[in-house]
Structure 1
Amino acid sequence: MSLFADEAAMQKWLHKKLKKEVALADLIFDYERYKSSIRTDDPSFVINQIRKSYLFCMDSFDINELLFANENISLNPKDILKPDFVLYAAETQSIVIVELKNLKSATRQAGTEVGAYAAEIKSYLPFMADGEVVNVIISSDWPVLLRHYVMNEIIWLNRNVICLEPLKRNGRIGLAIVSPDKIANDQLKFSVSQRQLGGFHLCLYDYGAKQAGNFFRMDDHQNRIRTALNAMAARGNALRTHGFAFLFRVRSDFGEAPYIITIVNFSSFQGLPFAFLDPEYVPNKTAMRFLQLLRDNDPEGHGQMLNKICEAGEVFLKGFCDPRPEDFRDWGYLKEYAFHEMDAMAFTGWGVFEEMYFELLAKKYDALDLDFEYDNPMVAISMLNEIVQEIDLQIDWEKLGLGDDDEDDFFE
C-alpha cells in the first residue's frame, strides 16, 4: 500500500523537506551504511554497473539546493516540461533531476520524462555532459517496464540513475534505496547474440608489395594502423554506440592485403526476436511494425554508424594502403574466418565492450601479475567468448500474422 494518497501528496512532502535545505542524503534510510558497504566487484557485470551508477549519484546527495519544483523549464513557452524537482549539487557541480511516481501502474514513462527534462536543461547549458546530470526516480512501485528502462539507461546509455522508494520506518517517512538486484530483474549475466553484432573486414591492400619483394612492408606502419583502431573507438564512443575492432595479420603472402581490420558494431534491430524468450510476451502494433521491418529488410548493423566508425580510422590508413570493406556479415562468420586464417595483433572497443574489456584486463593484471599489452586481442576474445552466444532465434511469421499473404491485412 502506498504511503501517499497520490503523487501530489508525495510531491508536497518532498517539497517541504527540500525547501528547508534538507539534502537527499538526509532523507535516505541507512544512507552512510549503504554507501560505505556497497561493492563493485560482483561477478555480474550488470549488477556492478547498476551499483556504480548508484554510487555516482549518491556523491551528489550531501548538499542540495532546490532550483525548480514542478515549474515549467521549457525554453519554448508553448511547451510544458515540469520536472518534479531540479536540484543543484554543490560538491559535484551537478544537476539532480528528481521524478516521482506514486501509481501501481508506473511504467517507463517516469524514465522517459527524466530524459526529456535533462535534454531541456542542456538547452540552457549546452556544454553539460551526461556525467553532470544525476537522475533520481522515486516510485512506490517498480514494475518490469520501469526496471527495464532504468537498466537500459545505465548499461547501454551509460547514464547515471538511482532508484528510490518511499518508506515509513519507526513512524518516520523517508526514502529507501531500491536493490540493484531488483533493477537487474534476474538478468545478472550480460550476453548478446552473434546476430546482434554486424560488421565487415576492412582489408588493407598493398598492391605493389609483392612486386617490391616485401609483402609485409606494411609492418613499418604499425603505429599508424593502431592509431586508426583508436580513432575508430573514439568515434564509436562519440556516437554513443557499442562495438569493437580487431587487427589481424595474414599468415602467408596469399592475396594483396597483408593486414585486415575486422570492425563490428551492435545492431539494434537484431535484438527484436529476443523479446520472444519471454513466453508471455505479446507484441503490440508498434512492435509488429518493427518486426515487419526486420522480416523484410533484415538490418544487420551495416549502416551509417558503422561507416562513420570506419571512416574515422581510414584517415590514418589511406596514405600507405587502399582500405576496402568486404564480407558484410555477423560476428559469428567474421570471427571464424579471421581467427582461422590470420594472427590477431590488437583489439579496441567502444561503449559497453570497451568497459568490459578494461574491467577484465584489470582482473588479469591483478590475478596473474603479467604485463599484458593494453590492446591484447587474446584477452578480448576470451571476454567475447564469454558474453557472445550462438543464439539464432527463428520467428514464426505466420503465427504473428506476418506471412506473405496477410501482413497488409494486419496493419489496415
Structure 2
Amino acid sequence: MKAASHNFKDEDHLQKLLLKVIKADQLSELVESTLGEDYDHSKIQFPQFSIDHLSRRACIDAGRRVLRSLEFLEVLTADQNVSLTKNEIMRPDIVCINAEQQCVVMFELKVSSVTGRQSLTELIAYEQELKNTLPFLAEYDVCHVLISPEWSTLMDHSVASSVTWSGRQILCLQAGLEKRKLTLKTRIPEAWKITGAAHFPELAMPCITVCLYDLDAYTAKDTVDSDDKKSKLTDELDNRIWTALSVIAREGDRIGGHGFALLWKDTSSISLTSYNITICGVSPFEFYKMSRERSTILADDGRLVAALDRFIYDSDPDGVSGALLRVAQSADTLLREVSDPRLEGWSNWATERRTLCSRGIPLLCEFWGALGDYSRDYVMNPAVRTHQRNLLLNGTGDWRDPKVGLPLIQSFTKPELFYEGEVRCSDAFRLGVLLGLDRLLRLNIQHADLPRYRARYEWNRIEMMAAIEEVRMLANAASNVERPENGFTFIDDPLADDEEEAARFVNWLTRDFFGRNVTVVRCFFVGFFSGFAFDPSRGLLDPEPSDEMIAQMAESIADCSAEILLTAQILEKEGPLPLLAENAYSEARSALGLKKTFKAVDISRLTTRQLFRAWPKVLYLSDLVVENVFHQHFPLATEGLDWNWFKQGVREAQSRGEVSFGVILLPNGQFVTGRTTPPEMGDFEMHNDDPENKVLFLDRSNGIGLMRVVSWADLENGQAFASVRDH
C-alpha cells in the first residue's frame, strides 16, 4: 500500500476543487510533471529494445499525451448519469472535451486507496458507454485521468497493464492540499518487476513454418523432376503472398501478440516448396526461466512461482501457443488460392536461422506487437536516420526489407560481435569470418552462380554489413581511430569486381580500427583466410573441413594460437590467473595435449587440424588473457536519460540482497544497471553506505574499469562521469 496523508473531506470536495480549476483553464499549469519532458528517447540515443523499459516508457508516453489535452477543456458532465439505457446508472466524475484536439477527457477521482480498487474498472465501463455514444472513437482520443491522494499496489498494476498492453491513454495524478488549495503531481506506476534481461534468452523465439506447397505437389507423378514440381510458384511470386504477410502481421497486432514473420525462397533441390513463411513468437516461459536462474524472481516471491516451477518442470512448454498458431493460420484464405499451406517445422529462431543461412533467400520481413513497435520506432528514429543511413539502405529501406529487418531481429538477442562496444579477439575473428566468407562466396558465385551459394551469400552479406556499420559507429566514437580519407564502398552484386576496395577496408581495419593490437589482428586473419572452414551455418567441427581448407589456415592459426597460449603462460607465471582464465587455459592446453611447462616449439609441432579442432577453446581463452582494443572515447552526454528508471533497477537489486549493484557506463556509450564487480573477483563486495543518495558507478567506456561511489545528482549532471575520466 502506497498512501499519502491528505485533508480531503470526501470525493465531492476533491471534485469541486478540480472543477473550479478546469473551468478557469488552470489545470495544465497546476500539474507538476515528473514525466521528464526533456527525456526524448527518439532524439537522444539510438533505440535499444528493452523489455524492462516497455511499461515505464508506455506510462510516460501515455501520461504526456493526456497532459497535452488538459488545456481548453469544456465540461460535458459532472457526476451525472451518461447511460443511454433506461434504468442503468453510469456516473463518471467529470467528462470533458478538448475542442482543439477533438478528444474526450474522463476524470475518475478517489480519496482513498480502498475505494481506488475499483477505479480502473469504472473508467473502462464509462469508456464503453462513451463509445456507445461516439462509435469508432479512437483509443488515442480517449484520455483518462485517474486522481487520488492514495495509491495502492492494485491501482498501480491495473493502470500499468491497461497502458502497456491495452494501449489506453491514462495519466495518474497524486492529489494533495496546501493551504486549502489543490495540488496535483504526476505519478509513474512502478508495477513492472525488472527482469534484468538486456537480450532475449536463446530459445525465447519459438517458430513454425507455413510451407507453401504447390496445389498439386502430392499428386504429381514421382517421375517428374523436383524442380518442375515446384515450378508454379517459382516463375513469379503471386501478390497474394505479399498480402498474406500483411494479414499475418495485422492479426498479430489485433490479438495482442508479439513476433515477426519471414518470407523466404527455398533453394534446396530436395524440397517440394519454393516459398515458405517462418513465423516466430515470443515465449514468456523462457523469460520466466531466465528470471528464476538470475534470481530476479525468487522461490518465495508469491504462490504463483512454485506453481509455475512445477508446470515448467512437468510440461517443458516450447512457447508455440494458441496465439502463435492463430497468427500462422490467419492468412490461409489467401494462401490456399495459390498454394497448399501446411504448418511444419516446430522449432526456435536460433535453430531455424542456422538452417535458413544455407538454403533460404530472405524476401520480406514483417513484425507485430512490441517487436513491431520497436522496428517502426527504429526506422523512424531521427538519430538512426541521420547517423545510420547505410543500415537503412541510404534511408530508403524499412523493416520489411530483410537487409533492415534481419539485423533488427538479431538485435533482440545477445550480439555475437562487439558486445557492449568492446573489441575483443573473438570479435576480430568473427568479423574476419564474415569478410572472408564474402570473398569466397563471391568467387564461387562468379564461377558457378548456384542458388545455394546465393542463399548463403545473402545471409552472410546482411550480417556482414550490420557488423561493418557497428565498426563505423565505434570508430566515429573513438578519438584515437584515424578516419579513412575516403569512405568505403560495398557492392552488393557478387558478380562485380570489388577486390581493390575490399583490400583497402581490410588494411584500415588492421592498421587503424584494431589499434595495431597484434594478437587481435592475427585472430582476424585466422577467420579471414578460413571463411568456409569456420562457417557458423554448418558448425566448427561438423563436417570436418577439407585438407585444402585446412592448408589455407596453416600459418595464421599456428601463429595466433602460439601468441595466445604463450601470453596465458606468462600471465600465470606473474601471478595466479582469475578463475575463469585459469580454467580456460587448462582446457585449451588439454585440447592440444600440451603440458603446463610447454614451450613454443611444442606448439609448432602440432598439426593444423589439431589447432583447428582446439580453436574454439583457444579463442575463448584469448578474450580472458589478451587486452581488448583500446578506444579513447569522445566525451559522452549524460543529460536526458531516464535516471528514475536506473534508480528503480538499482533499488530492486538491492532489495534482493545484491550489494555490488550500480550504474555502468559501457564501452559503446550506453548507461546500464548491473553488477559492478566482475565474477572473477569472487566474494569481494563494494558497499554503499547511503543508497538513497549515492550509487556505485563503474566506468568501462575506455576499456579500463574505474569504480567508485558517486551521488545520483553528480551522475545526472555529468560531474561524476567527468571526474572519473579525470581520475
TM-score scaled by length of structure 1: 0.75
1:202 to 210, 215, 224: 210
Whether the 8 Å contact between 1:197 and 1:266 is mirrored in structure 2 is yes
Distance in 2 between the 1:160 and 1:386 partners? 29
Deviations 1:336-379 (A, max 9, x none): 55456533332111222211111122344332222433213354
Which sections of structure 1, spanning at least 5 residues, go unmatched? 390-412
Whether the 8 Å contact between 2:7 and 2:177 is mirrored in structure 1 is no
Q: Secondary structure at the match of 2:145?
A: strand
Q: Secondary structure at the match of 1:212?
A: helix
Give the deviation of 1:61 after TM superposition: 1.0
Give the deviation of 1:163 after TM superposition: 1.6
Whether the 8 Å contact between 1:199 and 1:265 is mirrored in structure 2 is yes
Q: Are 2:104 and 1:103 aligned?
A: no
Structure 1 pair 195–154 and aligned structure 2 pair: CA distance change class (3 A): farther
Give the deviation of 1:21 after TM superposition: 4.7
Which sections of structure 2, spanning at least 5 residues, go unmatched? 415-727
Question: Could you tell me which amino acid in structure 2 is paired with residue 231 of structure 1?
Answer: V
Structure 1 pair 338–216 and aligned structure 2 pair: CA distance change class (3 A): farther
Structure 1 pair 176–10 and aligned structure 2 pair: CA distance change class (3 A): farther
- Hey, what does 2:30 align to over in structure 1? 27
CA RMSD in angstroms comes to 4.1
- Hey, what does 2:185 align to over in structure 1? 176
1:366 to 370, 386, 409: 386
2:244 to 228, 231, 242: 228
Whether the 8 Å contact between 1:228 and 1:317 is mirrored in structure 2 is yes
Deviations 1:279-326 (A, max 9, x none): 353237xx979x9799789694542x5455445433443333221111
Q: Secondary structure at the match of 2:65?
A: helix
Whether the 8 Å contact between 1:236 and 1:351 is mirrored in structure 2 is yes
Distance in 2 between the 1:24 and 1:145 partners? 27
Whether the 8 Å contact between 1:195 and 1:332 is mirrored in structure 2 is yes
Question: Could you tell me which amino acid in structure 1 is paired with residue 208 of structure 2?
Answer: F
Structure 1 pair 81–282 and aligned structure 2 pair: CA distance change class (3 A): farther
Question: Could you tell me which amino acid in structure 2 is paired with residue 369 of structure 1?
Answer: R
Q: Are 2:228 and 1:212 aligned?
A: yes
Q: Are 2:70 and 1:61 aligned?
A: yes
Deviations 1:170-229 (A, max 9, x none): 87422112247x566757978766777554210111336835387595251164432221
Greater relative contact order: 1 or 2 (C-alpha under 8 angstroms, separation 6 or more)?
1
Rg larger in 1 or in 2?
A: 2
Whether the 8 Å contact between 2:23 and 2:73 is mirrored in structure 1 is no
Q: Are 2:396 and 1:376 aligned?
A: no
- Hey, what does 1:356 align to over in structure 2? 374
Whether the 8 Å contact between 1:10 and 1:102 is mirrored in structure 2 is no
Whether the 8 Å contact between 1:106 and 1:143 is mirrored in structure 2 is no
- Hey, what does 2:338 align to over in structure 1? 320
Q: Secondary structure at the match of 2:108?
A: strand
- Hey, what does 2:481 align to over in structure 1? none
Distance in 2 between the 1:153 and 1:204 partners? 38
Deviations 1:230-251 (A, max 9, x none): 1222233344443321112223
Q: Secondary structure at the match of 1:248?
A: strand
Q: Secondary structure at the match of 1:118?
A: helix
Question: Could you tell me which amino acid in structure 2 is paired with residue 201 of structure 1?
Answer: T
Distance in 1 between the 2:93 and 2:313 partners? 38
- Hey, what does 2:15 align to over in structure 1? 12
- Hey, what does 2:83 align to over in structure 1? 74
Higher strand share: 1
Distance in 2 between the 1:12 and 1:214 partners? 70
Give the deviation of 1:166 after TM superposition: 1.5
Distance in 1 between the 2:20 and 2:313 partners? 50
2:268 to 208, 227, 252: 252
Whether the 8 Å contact between 1:247 and 1:262 is mirrored in structure 2 is yes
Structure 1 pair 16–195 and aligned structure 2 pair: CA distance change class (3 A): same
